Amino acid sequence: MFKDIGDGLRNKDPKPLQEWALKQQEGGAHYLDVNSGPAVPTEERPEAYEWMVKIIQEVSELPLCLDSTNYNAIEAGLKLCKRPAMINSVPAERPKLERVFPMAVQYNASLIALTMDKKGIPKDSENRLAFAMELVAAADEFGLPMEDLFIDPLILPVNVAQEHAPEVLETLRQIKNLANPAPRTVLGLSNVSQKSPDRHLINRTYLAMAMASGLDAAIMDANDDDLVDVAATAEILLNKSIYADSYLKVFRQR
């Protein structure tokens, strides 16, 4: 949590949030992730999300990604979103699936769904995939279009859980075979480098590896220029966009 955003939330000062929103937009972000964090008490969260959605939409045209475990707060924010938003996130637990999937359909939002349940994050790709299968089935059941489902196979910090990194890559590859059209994939990228001294290098190396394995989207710092360069270059090398000498610049203009 950036301290200035926390202060802004507590004092209802829109400045810091609006400044960060514009900064990330200039960096080339496609969505803005909105999260109150622990700065706001649980019972005040719905109101806080309404406020954040409102003030960010005052300065940015980008669609929003509403990030909370408090689904009432997310729903309060969704009601005010001018463009189809994204919900971040829901784990593969039945009661929560039943709460969140219909909400995504109702508000025409995309949904980030996690390959975990109450017991936590699986160690291997097989069990991650079992959860992914449940999430795909839920999309079918509740009528969420597959291209609006973003499955997050959950990467853990490499300094404490190194064995997860290749398992996540394998999961990314396999998720694409679960349905046709395939669901999409997403990672909260910076988690891979938590508390490592070489955070930026780890982030961008893993981003390239993950994109080659089928990663469609990442929640990441769009102001890390080297990282955005890697995303743009990987897109070219995967032949997903047509090369031009100025591709780095054009990637940021989208």
Closest to 206 in 3D by CA, of 231, 237, 182, 185? 231
How does DSSP assign 188-211, residue by residue? EGGGGGTT-TTHHHHHHHHHHHHH
Number of residues that bind other proteins (CB under 8 A): 10
How does DSSP assign 35-81, residue by residue? --GGGS-GGGHHHHHHHHHHHHHHH--S-EEEE-S-HHHHHHHHTT-
250 binds other proteins (CB under 8 A): yes
244 binds other proteins (CB under 8 A): yes
Closest CB to other proteins among residues 119, 254: 254
Closest CB to other proteins among residues 46, 214: 214
201 binds other proteins (CB under 8 A): no
Q: What is the 3-state secondary structure (H, E, C) of 150-187?
A: EEECCCCCCCCCCCHHHHHHHHHHHHCCCCCCCCEEEE
- Please, what is the minimum distance in Å from the beta carbon of residue 156 to other proteins? 33
242 binds other proteins (CB under 8 A): yes
Task: Count CA within 13 A, CB hemisphere, residue 31.
Answer: 23
The residue from 38, 43, 180, 243 that contacts other proteins (CB under 8 A) is: 243
Stretches 13-21, 130-138, 168-176, 241-249: which one binds other proteins (CB under 8 A)?
A: 241-249
The residue from 42, 108, 177, 241 that contacts other proteins (CB under 8 A) is: 241
Strands 32-34 and 149-152: unpaired
The residue from 91, 123, 249, 252 that contacts other proteins (CB under 8 A) is: 249
| Site residues (CB under 8 A) for other proteins, limited to 119-138 | none
61 binds other proteins (CB under 8 A): no
Closest CB to other proteins among residues 120, 239: 239
Cα-based torsion angle of the residue sequence 33, 37, 43, 47 in order, rounded to the nearest 10 degrees: -40
Q: Which residues lie near other proteins (CB under 8 A)?
A: 241-246, 249-250, 253-254
